[in-house]
Structure 1
Amino acid sequence: MMALRTLVRAGRLLGVVAGGLAVAAWLACRPHTGVARRQRWTQWFLGSLARALPLTIQVHGRCAPGPALWVGNHVSWVDIAVLGSLAPLSFLSKADVRGWPIAGWLAHQAGTLFIRRGAGDGMRTNQQLAERLRAGHSLVIFPEGTTTDGQQLRTFHPRLLACAIDTGTPVQPVAIRYRRDGAPDPLAPFIGDDDLLSHLRRLLAADRAIVEVHLLPPIRSTGLDRGTLAAQAHAAVATVLFGVIATQRDAA
């Protein structure tokens, strides 16, 4: 029965991906399609993807009205499907994701912005993020810069929040927590040398897990420096995840 359940889930997931590829191919033939339309397609696709995974999503709180910079902890690639199902959003991703088979192409067609680590293009990335926010489009960034096992919260890199200050856009802190059988989910984290296919197989073979998404009160960026803004967002997320405020040192 477990093998049959896994096959049924895999078939449903393949159907979602096929539908996403069809829409992405249509968008690829129309390169001048606006960001708003790409975001609506992304929300539809990621919502379908999240529903195809064995997850029960519990949302606490409400999205900030108007454009916002969503800032949260990062546990897995699944975070993208979960958050993307909630609102029209664009994402910031590592440049190497652009080269992933299928997923990288889909991300590109969805309007994802890619950043190269240590490439010295931080100013250019900030300008691109600021342009999206000024145009009224919400963005998601994971300022830890990597995934964790969900039991820790790394430093939020302040430079990634400069675009919110430059545009006067509020920051929407988001805390994501995966639970299985009343305890932290050991299957959800996508860390280390794990590969996408192996991780996906484990998720599809397992029982349903719970994903808690906490949409916390927005933080006004006006008048704040990026270190203070990052620290406030970090503290908000840490309070939900661990019940205490974890401090972070300012980073460049």
Structure 2
Amino acid sequence: MVRCAEGPLFGARRPWTPRITQGVCRTAMAIMGIGLTVRGTPMQQRGAMVANHGSWLDIFALNACAPMYFVAKSEVSGWAGIGWLARATGTVFITRKGTEAKRQQQLFEARLRAGHRLVFFPEGTSTDSIRVLPFKSTLFAAFFTHGLESVMHIQPVTVVYHAPDGADARFYGWWGDMTFAGHLVSVLSARKQGRVEVNFHPAVPVDAFPGRKELAGYCERVIATVHPGQGPGEDPKAHVSPAGRAAP
């Protein structure tokens, strides 16, 4: 209903939907009993946020902090429950086919120019939540086209999960062959919940970097620096199942 009214009134900008989503996600976090700590300030400039990806809970935690739109793989649109939510909130769905690269880049550009603040998970997979994986630079290419680099900013965001007392540190992580329903039940059935900490780092102008690889590398370093599980010299891949779940 709301989106039907937004279109004729505001076109692609759609200012109401993300605000409603933010309220719903704040309520969901409260109902689940998961604490939320926010450090730093969500960006106000035009551009996008990039975050590490440990769980489906990232969607709720990040959305509870600020209005935003997520970038997800196309398969997510068909997932029960979470797929409907993703479609209803204006998620940008992408495929991993090389033949679709140009069309997807045009889609990113259109959404960015409309003022939508997109959120990417550059790891390309969700993890056990206690490590940060190497970032893939592919999606960063959209910021270096048709002059976007001169007006866009990128904000790195670190999401840190603190498991309930006595639980495995990976309690909130969603990876490998875990199902959404199974993990949801596991989380909701906990007698006591933990909390999630969202760290917003300073946004940086895209044109401060020569290309997508340099920008991706910078964001990875900043995000990993304040992640407590990312010790120096450790191999983050050692803590993720080979069947790691593709990022929503």
- Return the TM-score normalized by structure 2: 0.81
Matched ranges for 1:68-83 at <5 A: 68-83=47-62
1:198 corresponds to which residue?
A: 182
Aligned residue among 74, 81, 87 for 1:102: 81
Partner SS, residue 148 of structure 1: coil
CA contact (8 A) 2:94 2:104 kept: yes
1:229 pairs with 2:212: no
CA contact (8 A) 1:150 1:177 kept: yes
* Number of matched pairs: 223
User: Structure 1 residues 174-183 or 91-100, which shifts more?
Assistant: 174-183
Aligned residue among 207, 212, 234 for 2:197: 212
Tell me the CA shift for residue 204 of structure 1: 1.1
Partner SS, residue 206 of structure 2: coil
2:37 corresponds to which residue?
A: 58
2:46 corresponds to which residue?
A: 67
Tell me the CA shift for residue 247 of structure 1: 10
Distance verdict in 2 for CA 1:178–1:28, change over 3 Å: same
Any idea what the Cα deviations from partners look like across 1:199-226, whole Å, max 9, x if unmatched? 1111111111121111111122114200
Distance verdict in 2 for CA 1:183–1:228, change over 3 Å: farther
User: Structure 1 residues 141-150 or 99-108, which shifts more?
Assistant: 99-108
Any idea what the Cα deviations from partners look like across 1:61-96, whole Å, max 9, x if unmatched? 111222331101000010000001111100011111
- Distance, in Å, in 1 between the alignment partners of 2:233 and 2:39 is 19
Distance verdict in 2 for CA 1:132–1:244, change over 3 Å: farther
Distance verdict in 2 for CA 1:204–1:27, change over 3 Å: same
Query: Sequence identity, in percent?
Result: 33
Distance verdict in 2 for CA 1:109–1:31, change over 3 Å: farther
CA contact (8 A) 1:178 1:184 kept: no
- Distance, in Å, in 1 between the alignment partners of 2:166 and 2:213 is 35
1:177 corresponds to which residue?
A: 160
- Distance, in Å, in 1 between the alignment partners of 2:61 and 2:72 is 16
2:135 corresponds to which residue?
A: 156
Q: Which structure 2 residue ranges, 5 or more long, are not aligned?
A: 237-248
Distance verdict in 2 for CA 1:99–1:126, change over 3 Å: same
Distance verdict in 2 for CA 1:208–1:29, change over 3 Å: same
1:122 corresponds to which residue?
A: 101
Distance verdict in 2 for CA 1:125–1:247, change over 3 Å: farther
User: Structure 1 residues 47-56 or 136-145, which shifts more?
Assistant: 47-56
Tell me the CA shift for residue 32 of structure 1: 2.8
Distance verdict in 2 for CA 1:229–1:183, change over 3 Å: farther
Distance verdict in 2 for CA 1:138–1:78, change over 3 Å: same
Partner SS, residue 204 of structure 2: coil
CA contact (8 A) 1:239 1:246 kept: no
Distance verdict in 2 for CA 1:192–1:243, change over 3 Å: closer
- Distance, in Å, in 2 between the alignment partners of 1:238 and 1:28 is 37
Partner SS, residue 176 of structure 1: strand
Aligned residue among 221, 224, 237 for 1:238: 224
CA contact (8 A) 2:160 2:198 kept: yes
User: Structure 1 residues 124-133 or 172-181, which shifts more?
Assistant: 124-133
